Structure 1
Amino acid sequence: MHSSIFNCSYLSIFCHLSLIFLMLGYEHWKGQVLTADELHVLYEGIKLNNVNQYDYVLTGYTRDDSFLDTVVDIVQELKRENPSLEYGVYNKAVTYYNVMYVPENLLPIYRDKVVPAADIIKVSVLLCCSEKDAVEAMNLLHSMGPDTVVITSSDLPSPLGDQYLVALGSQKIGEFDFISTQVGAQCNETTVLAMLTSYFSSSLIAWGGMACEKTVSVIHHVIKRTINYAKEVAGPNRKPSPAQLKLRMVQSKADIEDPAIVLNAVGL
């Protein structure tokens, strides 16, 4: 499972995690995949302890339809407890280079239940023909419910050069009005980028309205510190290992809490 529930009454990245993250970048991993029944039992325990007051919920990749249904049921119950709760959905991509990334039987659930329940949608990869196509895709998602849509990377060329990924975001500010922005993030290590997708989501949902510039700037600082450290430890002309590329998040605490803005959003 690749999901998290955040218990954050204070705007902070360092908050209590009720569930776990899967570490990326390593060749092997073992462990159980949580079932829908097990998730339900876990949530019932949270309720019995009266610690089910959440401000934010963030969920990620799911491969089982009953599990995904249970996630939506829990989110809807949490929203009844706290109507101001924000639900963020992170998914790498429903399709990736014309190959289904999630089981096909999950698509109706994402379309009919997950997206309408979400306040924020974050897609890691969008393969589109143009910037116009990306904006149309974000507007389509807006029409299904979410107020905020973010594409953390795309295949669009960056005016800053091929070392930069183009991220796009759109926020609904009225019934028919949207603000769309584009911002570039520099990244030259694929392994680090893979590990950062989940962290991007948590940072995004925590920073709220200032998310685009602050989130990408935080990611920039974490990437830079991580890669510099990994290269130093690995030694000259040696490729860093996944262990050496573990994100330097603790060391980046000051940047996470008060990031210097190094990349600015551009209105589309």
Structure 2
Amino acid sequence: MSTPRILSIQSHVVCGYVGNKSSVFPLHLHGFQVDAINSVQLSNHTGYRKGIKGQILKAQDITDLYTGLKENNLNFYDYVTTGYVGDPSFLETLARTVTDLREKNPNIKYVCDPVMGDEGHFYVPEALLSVYQKSIVPIADVLLPNQFEAEKLSGMSITCEADGWKVCDKLHSQGKAETVVITSGEIGDNPDEIVSLGSFNRGETKVKVCIPRIPSSFTGSGDVFAASFLIWSHKHPDNPVKIMTNTVNTTYAVLNRTYESFKHLDTPGSYDKELKLIQSKADLEDPPEFVQAILVKESS
């Protein structure tokens, strides 16, 4: 079997683990060849008290980088995956880039984590929302929003599991996405659990995972989730339960290891809470089973 090639367009931080720093390592461990374009280049993630320094790439930057790949006939990929983008013009150009990649390989799969915000607020310019709705959602094969992002993209609220499935159906209907996963949300009745909902085959197969809540917040967890989802969906394309089980367990293992490393501290800082990604190498390769996905609806 040939080595799958991925173009990963996400953020980069010098110190820490978000964006491409969270995604490339797990993909490499599983034998994927990853070419990375950094949508931003920052000193650290935005959770640090004294802020960030660095650059936000614009439309011309991604155009130049992709043109170089194309002119050297290096633009044949099996997957393109996108995460944090800090500029609307960059995102518009990214959409055109994906379309051009499809001309080179009509079978390319576009896995999109529409990173916009969480816990009720945006942490990117709100102008990105309309670009996602008009230019990105229609062309993505896989959408991986969290609850906040799913609500914004669909224009619907999620107060229960039934609402979550309706939002998934809405996002399917807005484009070509075969798979929509609400990666995390307060969707169930149990305050001690986070719920992940996976809608496969345009909603014909639905899978749910209930995840024990870790009493902390993390930066970069969605990027680990997206990379893990790509890995396990590539390895088990016809087994949504396996995909969701392994994806959630991989992500949970990293977060749990990170939490165990700082829970003894009275006031852990941003650096203390950086994901213990390298230390989780074995779990990334073969995740322990903390949870098991449940088949809610099976395709007919």
Fold match by TM threshold 0.5: yes
Match of 2:267 among 226, 235, 239: 239
- Please give the alpha-carbon distance, in whole angstroms, between the structure 2 residues aligned to 1:134 and 1:170: 10
- Give secondary structure in 1 for the equivalent of 2:110: strand
Equivalent residue for 2:160?
Answer: 130
Please give the per-residue CA displacement for 1:101-130, whole angstroms capped at 9, x wherever unaligned.
655554443233211110010112245122
- Please give the alpha-carbon distance, in whole angstroms, between the structure 1 residues aligned to 2:118 and 2:260: 33
Equivalent residue for 1:111?
Answer: 133
Equivalent residue for 1:256?
Answer: 284
Question: Which range moves more in the overlay, 250-259 or 144-153?
Answer: 250-259
Match of 1:172 among 201, 208, 212: 201
The unaligned stretches of length 5 or more in structure 1 are: none
Equivalent residue for 1:188?
Answer: 214
- Please give the alpha-carbon distance, in whole angstroms, between the structure 2 residues aligned to 1:244 and 1:107: 32
- Please give the alpha-carbon distance, in whole angstroms, between the structure 1 residues aligned to 2:292 and 2:286: 16
- Please give the alpha-carbon distance, in whole angstroms, between the structure 2 residues aligned to 1:11 and 1:147: 26
Contact kept? 2:194, 2:210, Cα under 8 Å: yes
Q: Counterpart amino acid of 1:242?
A: S
Map of 1:1-268 to 2, 5 A cutoff?
2=11, 12=30, 15-20=33-38, 23-24=44-45, 25-27=47-49, 28-93=51-116, 97=120, 103=125, 105-126=127-148, 128-144=158-174, 145-157=176-188, 159=190, 162-172=191-201, 178-192=204-218, 194-208=219-233, 209=237, 210-231=242-263, 236-268=264-296
Question: Which range moves more in the overlay, 58-67 or 244-253?
Answer: 58-67
Instruction: Tell me by how many angstroms 1:81 deviates.
Output: 1.2
- Give secondary structure in 2 for the equivalent of 1:19: strand
The unaligned stretches of length 5 or more in structure 2 are: 1-9, 12-18, 149-156
Q: Counterpart amino acid of 1:163?
A: D
Q: Counterpart amino acid of 1:55?
A: D
- Point out 4+ residue stretches in structure 1 off by more than 6 angstroms: 8-11
- Give secondary structure in 2 for the equivalent of 1:153: strand
Q: How many residues align?
A: 256
- Please give the alpha-carbon distance, in whole angstroms, between the structure 2 residues aligned to 1:198 and 1:178: 26
Normalised to the residue count of structure 1, the TM-score between the two structures is 0.82
Please give the per-residue CA displacement for 1:165-195, whole angstroms capped at 9, x wherever unaligned.
111110016xxx5111111223425442x32
Equivalent residue for 2:16?
Answer: none
